[in-house]
Structure formats: C-alpha cells, structure tokens
Chains A and B, each alone.
Chain A
C-alpha cells in the first residue's frame, strides 16, 4: 500500500526516531512510504486549550497536505484522535462547507499505526524481535477516543523475545493532558507519581505507548528520579529486528 506518513510535529521535532522506526517498519512490511513535506501540526494543542478558531487554518493546511493520500498513518493515537473526533467540529466552526466535506472525506483514510497494521493491513506478527521486559501504557486517546482496545497488546505480544508485563490500573490517565501538564502542573505531577509507581511495580525496563507525548511526561518523571526505566514508542519496538 502507498502510505502517507503523518509524522506529527511532536515526533518530527522531539522524537524523530519514532518516524524513522515507523518508516522502516512499514517499508519492511512491503508498503511504500510517502512523507508530504508540507505537513506541520494538526492543531490539537490549540483546539484542546481553547484556541479553536486559531486551529482552523491548521486543519485546512492538513486537509490540503494530505488531501489525495490513499491512507494516512500516524504514530500517535492522540493526533489521529484530533483528526477523527475534533476536525469535524473545527470544520463546522469555520462555517466553510467545503472544509466540512473535505474533512468528512479525509477521516476514513487516517489511521493510527497499530490500527493500520491490524485493521487495515491485517498483520499482527510484524517480524519484530525485542528481548526485554516491557510494560504497555494504554493512553487515554488510544483507549477512549480511538478505541484501539487490545490492538497494541496483540502487536507487542507477537514480538519475538519480549517479556510483556501488564501495567496495573492500565486505563487511568498518566496526567499529561497537553497544556494541562503545565497549567495544572501540581495535579499533573500527582497523577504522574501514581503512574510512575505502577510502572516501577511491574519491574519493566521499558515503558511502551502509542503516544510520545504521554511518554515524554512519564519518561520525564522517571528520568528525574533516575529510575532506570526507558520509554519507547510502539513503532520503535515493532521496528526492531533480530538481524
């Protein structure tokens, strides 16, 4: 399949390795990856912080950039959630019927990486090898916006050599929440404290998730504690091979 990679500004700027891993993984599975270079930010931070009108030009820009792609894949549940759940609202707010229908046509083609692999490409076993003790954090947007359910766990479970440990209280938010993490820093950190405790309780050496934003938050806390647990995006584990 010809896949347009929606890298997300967050990964592009802060976690380019996730993009590299996503590209290598998709190519290894026989897909052709395009990277529409005009892409910038989906507008999630603006929309969620209340700058909904300000996000409209970004929605328009996204639609123009990815307009013709057959499938659009992003290594981020939360940015895909933005497109799927909130783009219709942003488009409606713009009052532009053209944008409303363009968004409608776009949405069925946008996938989160794991969702694309399992639901669209039909693979669970991607030929990955990762001989480490790993726990998986189900991010809120994976769970409650995209309803990914068991998809990420199935992908990880099929990885050769992996020792997968379930994270206690897996459905609870880690406390990131975008600008919540700075606007309500104390509460965010209190939530992080409990999440970090759950992660440490698993004895895992790697914490994995489908969003680097949550991982930056939990990982930032673990790093401050010198906890000895590293964070990796799902794509980075799935891209890893034995040879």
Chain B
C-alpha cells in the first residue's frame, strides 16, 4: 500500500460516477452475484447458526492469536515447511524476493492474492528483476491492462467482455480473430496460462485459511489456476495475514459452507486445495509460509475495530453495497474496496491517511446483514468516525458547527430560537417557494435536490396554539 494519504473518497468517486458504461457493468455484475448469494444462503435453514459459529471461531482466534500463531509455526515446521515472520510490507517483500532468488527463478506464477497486492509484491519483485505472472483470469486481465483490481473476488468487475476482447487483442492474442464470447476469451487465456504454469519453478499464493492445529493451509478458488500453481512448481511461497487462522481442522466445516455461498453464490467452489508442509514426491518440495502483520496487531488492539480481522474476504458486502455498486472499487484507493475496505484500510494504514473512508457509507446496514462472520461494519464505521472527529483540528469548520449545534440542541430555549432564526435566515435562499441553491457545506445538497422552506409554524407552535384554543373553549 502507498505510504502517502489516499485521495479523498468523494473526489475519487466522481470518476466512476460519471462513467455510464462502468455504472452499467457494476450494477449488472453486483446484482447478479447478490441474487445468486441470496438464493444459496436461502437454501440453508441453519445459516444464522453458521454465521454465529463463524463469528465465534474468529473471535476465539483473535483472543488467542499469539498462541495459535506459534502453534501454526510449529505444525508447519514439523510438516517440513518454513515459516517467516514479516512485520510490514517491506519486510515481507524482501523475504519473498530473497526466497525467489535462492530458488534461482526469474519469474513466478501467482494465485490471486489480496495480501500480495496489499504489500505491492509484484512491483517489489519487478524491482529485483523478477516477473510475477497473475494466473487468475480476472487478475490477468487487470495485469495486462496495467490497472488495479476493483473488487475482492472479481477484480475486473469494472470491465465488460468487449473491453476484455479488445485488451486481449492488444496483448496475449495479438493478430488473432477474436469475438467477445466468454468461452473464446477464456480459451485464449488458458493457452497463454498453460505455458506459464509449465515453465514456472516458483509459485506465490495467498491463503484463505491456515489451521493452527495441523499446519494445513487452504486456498479456495474457482478456475483451477490455483491448483496448478500449488502443485506444479518446485517451490511454493504462501503469504498470509496473521488473522487468517482457524484453530482446528474441523472448523473448515463452518467456513467452507460460509465462504463459497457468500462470495460466488455457489454451494461449493470448484477447487479447494489443502496442503500440509511438503510431501516427498508430490507437489512442491519446498514450502515457505510468510506470516504478515502490516498493521494487523494494531487493529487487534482496538476492542471495537478488532472484528474487522474476522473478514474472510468473501466480498458479499461489496456486492450488496449501494455505494460500491455506483462508485466501484477504485474510489476506495486500496486493494480492499467496499464496506470492508472502508473499515479495514483506515485501520491498516492509520486513520490520518484514509479519514474519508469511514464516511463512504450511508450506514444502510446491508453489509452487516450479509456478512458471513457478522462483522458489524456500521458499528466500526461509527467508531472510526468518532476517532476522526476526536483527532480533528479545533478549527475544523464542521467540528465547530457540530459543537455549536450540540449546544443549541441541549437547551429547548436555544433550540426554539434557532428554529425562528432559520425561518428568518432562509428568506435569502427561497425562490418561488423552494430552495434551489445552498451555500458552503450544504451546496452538495442543492446540486440535485430542492428543499422545501421551513414552514411558518413548527409543530410545537401548532401544539401550543391548539392547547390555547382548547383552554379558551373550556373556560
């Protein structure tokens, strides 16, 4: 992730909001996955119990993370793997670079991995003269286009098939006749990728889960590219955030039901690869597990924010989010977009570098409702907003206005005076019985919305007048 401040969300969102093709692509894709998910989840009578179990297991992991991590290290080592600890992105990248160099490789094939994107691994390897080749179809598209992912699960969600056809004709299918039919596009990618798999000596993957008890690591995927990377090369390097732990092997029972249904809207994903260290004569003979902190222990230390680490990267919250569906992922400025990104990124990077992200939500609560591990995203958003205002300058205009208003609302007399003042002050803005243009911070409102003027009588004035009339009548 970059070290500078992220662009402000309201500004970054403008690009996508103005792009009608992108809006169409996003709306279609998110609605399709959203509906599939709802159907698959609806099939399970014990879905709420599964969510509760998922949440409880993850809460336990966070409570005893120190112990589980050491247990994992021991189990992986026992099974013939090597465990490395990386405090931050730089440390992780130099560990990985050294490992690739030691294996004598100039190129690595990659299983789709958010964690390696988070640390900017591809660029770091490139600087060391090593080429990383993405093998997930959508990641490949993004890599070929020189763009950034805009969705956790479907990185190229912002592109439609004719855009992908044009891209392939410029890159891996140069000079070929190609229509925009998905099977044809997939075939082109498959031919290209097969060559990459067969030629690679080293693969880099992320991990969906790792079991502390057994040292088993899991990658859950759809295309089989993961299976290729995890089995063909001689050396496998897996980069995993320290929060991805599960205590016991049997916890898969819960998570392998929660994850596919929530992410792709499938009962079970096509490929689930599990491996424990190395097996002589079968698969990679050298296995490295790089455990990454990169801000996670900072998140863990926050009692409210901690639940963010429960995330299993299913992306159900992105697909249901009305903000994400319109702005797309790039506006969030990080590899973690959507509602989960709005709470994870500021906590990983530090709030001062991403302080508009906790406000990139209408607090509609849809994300919390679909989260398979019950992360109360609105609660964390509010918590982070609280942190933002606490650390804002005393001269911040919004802060001054809010504190003033709080004083007004704390006293019925001041409140009523403010109502009257508002009725008087609005005369400057009322044209033909409606307010069509507002100044300062409120200008955004009137950009597309009219406002009815404050009525002549407030409710409390009506109430008083009515009581007075009734009293008169009864006397």
Contact = CB atoms under 8 A, between A and B. Distances in A.
A7 B390 CA distance: 30
B365 A144 contact: yes
A185 B9 CA distance: 11
A49 interface: yes
Given A40-B415, A183-B359, A7 B449 contact: no
Contact of B389 (A23, A50, A180, A185): A50
Contacts of B395: none
A191 to B, nearest CB: 5
B448 A221 contact: yes
B70 interface: no
Contacts, number: 194
A206 interface: no
Contact of A181 (B323, B386, B409, B444): B444
A47 B454 CA distance: 24
Interface stretch (A11-19, A118-126, A153-161): A11-19
B452 interface: yes
Interface residues on A, range: 35 or more
A149 interface: no
B324 to A, nearest CB: 10
A145 B227 CA distance: 43
A104 B390 CA distance: 27
Interface string B362-398: 1111101100000000000010111111100000001
A217 interface: yes
Contacts of B403: 51, 54
A190 B326 contact: yes
Question: Chain B binding site: helix, strand, loop or mixed by DSSP?
Answer: helix
A50 B363 contact: no
A93 B475 CA distance: 49
A38 B464 CA distance: 13
Contact of B323 (A18, A61, A143, A191): A191
A106 to B, nearest CB: 18
A187 B326 contact: yes
Interface string A173-201: 10111111111111111111010000000
B10 A183 contact: yes
B364 A41 contact: no
A188 B382 contact: no
A187 B449 contact: no
B103 interface: no
Nearest to B379: A89
A41 B416 CA distance: 11
Nearest to B362: A177
Contacts of A150: none
Contacts of A145: 365
B14 interface: yes
A186 B449 contact: no
A11 B447 contact: no
A74 B434 CA distance: 27
B459 A140 contact: no
Given A37-B412, A173-B364, A178-B363, A12 B459 contact: yes
B401 to A, nearest CB: 10
A179 B359 CA distance: 9
A124 to B, nearest CB: 26
A165 interface: no
A23 B462 CA distance: 11
B450 interface: yes
Given A13-B454, A46-B405, A224-B450, A187 B382 contact: no
B460 interface: yes
A20 interface: yes
Q: With a 10 A CB-CB cut-off, give which of B322, B385, B403, B415 has the most chain A CB atoms.
A: B322
Contacts of B460: 7, 12, 35, 37
Given A35-B460, A47-B382, A184-B9, 8 more contacts: A14-B452, A35-B463, A38-B412, A41-B415, A50-B386, A54-B403, A184-B360, A185-B444
Pairs of residues from A and B, 8 with the lowest C-beta to C-beta distance, nearest first: A185-B444, A177-B362, A50-B385, A220-B449, A173-B364, A19-B459, A144-B365, A16-B459
Interface of B: 9-10, 13-14, 17, 23, 322-323, 326-327, 358-366, 368-369, 382, 384-390, 398-399, 402-403, 405-406, 409-412, 415, 419, 422, 434, 436, 441-445, 447-452, 454-455, 457-464
13 contacts: A13-B422, A16-B455, A16-B459, A45-B405, A51-B402, A57-B406, A173-B364, A182-B442, A183-B444, A186-B10, A186-B447, A187-B360, A194-B326
